[in-house]
Structure 1
Amino acid sequence: MDTHTLRLVLLSVFLVSSSLPSPTLSVSSVRCNPSDKRVLLKIKKSLNNPQSLTSWNPNTNCCDWLGVSCDLQTNRVTTLRFSGISIPGQIPAAIGDLPYLDTLDFVNVADLTGPIPYSITKLQNLRMLSTLLTNISGPIPEFLHQLKNLWFLDLSYSNFYGPIPASLANLPKLEVLELGGNKLTGNIPDSLWASQNRFVVFDLSQNQLSGKIPKSLSHFNADSINLRNNKFTGDASALFKTNGTLSHLDLSWNEFDFDLSRVKLPESLQDMDLSHNRIRGSIPKEITGLNLYWLKVSYNRLCGEIPFGGKVQEFGADSFFHNRCLCGQPLPKCK
């Protein structure tokens, strides 16, 4: 998802240059933008020079350092991506001094703590931000709405708490919102439901969120919606939009209460988990026409005969059991 198309750059371009590097400096080192290198070394110092960043050697090309990528034309640092390494401390404020940064990605960096620094708002080219599986904590910052080019925001499985900022709806390019596995509370802001963004992923699962889904979602559209394991109540049928692009839906482990027989299932739906709710009615016959690879409606209050056909009977009894009076394959025959 980089903004820049990668092009082949021949080393011979540097060798035939009229200004050859000095003997004490490697050919590749002249690629590194001096300003960006100074910032990266400042970041390393702020983290107390961790062992994991030993490759960040001032005598080498910063574009070759661990987790660092540069644009092949401008040589400016565009990516900081760290996965599964030790970086004890907080995200340094100096990260905001990398003006061409497109991607800031921390994945499975357990000893990274503290809040997201305000200086990140200077990164107006930032498109991807992830703190997945870290110990970054605090409320989700309101100031993230200043990152107008952000399309991918993954703060999942960290230690964020408090409400979801309504201002996230002001990110005009946001398509991926993943906030699962935190300690978030309160409602989903109405501004997010009213967003005209088309979400590829809308994941708020495994939090402590509550409240009801609006009865009308005229603008909201998402390919994948995951509200699993929260405290939501009421009618979620507005999420089933026949003219939408919904393919993945997980509403399990909530307290939703609505009549499933009145729901129009979108043809785009590929997997659906409605288990562990208070959903009533019967399973719509239209489900047999869907190209499903996952279906689970167990632990609800459904009744009637399970529609026969399509891929429905390929799912085991555990996908349907513990309902009020469902019957038919793969459950026992209806009496």
Structure 2
Amino acid sequence: MENSSVVFVLLTIATISAISFSNGNIDVLCRESERQALLRFKQDLKDPMNRLSTWDGGDCCSWMGITCDNLTSHVLELRVDFSRLGGKINPSLLDLKYLKYLDLSENNYEGIQIPSFIGSLKSLTHLDLSGFGGKIPHQLGNLSNLHYLNLGDCNFWKVESLQWMSGLSSLQYMEMTGIDLSKAFDWLQVVNIW
């Protein structure tokens, strides 16, 4: 057998092992490292409505609120909005390197501050954190691929500077309803950058 034929056979076997066949449909199986990251994320949450009950099987791509890439099987979206979740946000989300869409909004986080590590999720294009409290971490300014950012509907935000916003060069939509900007001394300068 030629080398190119051996390589083709090995690639075919690798591809087949990455997918499962059920009812004639091809289903992508999630990556084990990303599955473990999501389970660590879940363990730090309070879930009184049992909304994350599907988060126990082997394939995280089939779990509620999770969307995976059909070709690579990487987790692309995590949507747990309006699920009445509480607790804390585990930094295991950093293991979701291809995450583009993160919606943790309108849960019962009891005013906990946005974790600064969210500013390290560089692939994000959509981020909805309405319902958190405290001070907005300046690390959110590292999310240069972000197109959508929702920080609204929180009356307890403390904003002293908006300089972090200058790093959001791809931003197309931003919601900040309910945020008191009276202490933000640089808002006019930041708005003029866009």
* TM-score normalised to structure 1 length: 0.47
Structure 2: how far apart are the matches of 1:19 and 1:124? 26
5+ long unaligned stretches in structure 2: 1-11, 21-25
Match of 2:51 in 1: 52
State the secondary structure of the residue aligned to 2:178. coil
State the secondary structure of the residue aligned to 2:76. strand
- What does residue range 5-16 of structure 1 map to in structure 2 within 5 Å? none
Tell me, yes or no, if structure 1 residue 78 matches structure 2 residue 71: no
Task: Report the AA paired with residue 171 of structure 2.
Answer: L
Contact 1:32 1:61 in 2 (8 A): yes
Q: Show CA shifts across 1:85-111 (max 9, x none).
A: 121112222212211110111232134
Task: Report the AA paired with residue 175 of structure 1.
Answer: Q
Deviation at 1:167, TM superposition (A): 2.2
Q: Show CA shifts across 1:184-236 (max 9, x none).
A: 4324523323223xxxxxxxxxxxxxxxxxxxxxxxxxxxxxxxxxxxxxxxx
Q: Report the RMSD for the aligned CA atoms in angstroms.
A: 2.7
More strand by share: 1
Tell me, yes or no, if structure 1 residue 179 matches structure 2 residue 179: no
Deviation at 1:42, TM superposition (A): 0.5
Deviation at 1:164, TM superposition (A): 4.2
Deviation at 1:148, TM superposition (A): 1.3
Match of 1:126 in 2: 124
Structure 1: how far apart are the matches of 2:17 and 2:159? 58
Q: Show CA shifts across 1:146-176 (max 9, x none).
A: 1111121110012322324222022111111
Contact 2:117 2:139 in 1 (8 A): no
State the secondary structure of the residue aligned to 1:107. coil
Structure 2: how far apart are the matches of 1:87 and 1:130? 15
Tell me, yes or no, if structure 1 residue 153 matches structure 2 residue 149: yes
Structure 2: how far apart are the matches of 1:19 and 1:84? 33
Contact 1:33 1:76 in 2 (8 A): yes
Q: Show CA shifts across 1:56-90 (max 9, x none).
A: 01x33101111111111111001111222121112
Deviation at 1:53, TM superposition (A): 1.0
State the secondary structure of the residue aligned to 2:114. coil
Task: Report the AA paired with residue 157 of structure 1.
Answer: D
Task: Report the AA paired with residue 98 of structure 1.
Answer: L
5+ long unaligned stretches in structure 1: 1-12, 22-26, 197-335
Task: Report the AA paired with residue 148 of structure 1.
Answer: S
Contact 1:161 1:185 in 2 (8 A): no
Contact 1:91 1:114 in 2 (8 A): no
State the secondary structure of the residue aligned to 1:75. coil
State the secondary structure of the residue aligned to 2:103. strand
Structure 2 CA distance for partners of 1:18 and 1:89, relative to 1, 3 Å: closer
Contact 2:47 2:85 in 1 (8 A): no
Task: Report the AA paired with residue 69 of structure 1.
Answer: T
- What does residue range 25-174 of structure 1 map to in structure 2 within 5 Å? 28=27, 31-48=29-46, 51-57=50-56, 59-111=57-109, 113-132=111-130, 134=131, 136-158=132-154, 159-174=156-171
Structure 2: how far apart are the matches of 1:137 and 1:66? 26
Structure 1: how far apart are the matches of 2:64 and 2:111? 20
Match of 2:3 in 1: none
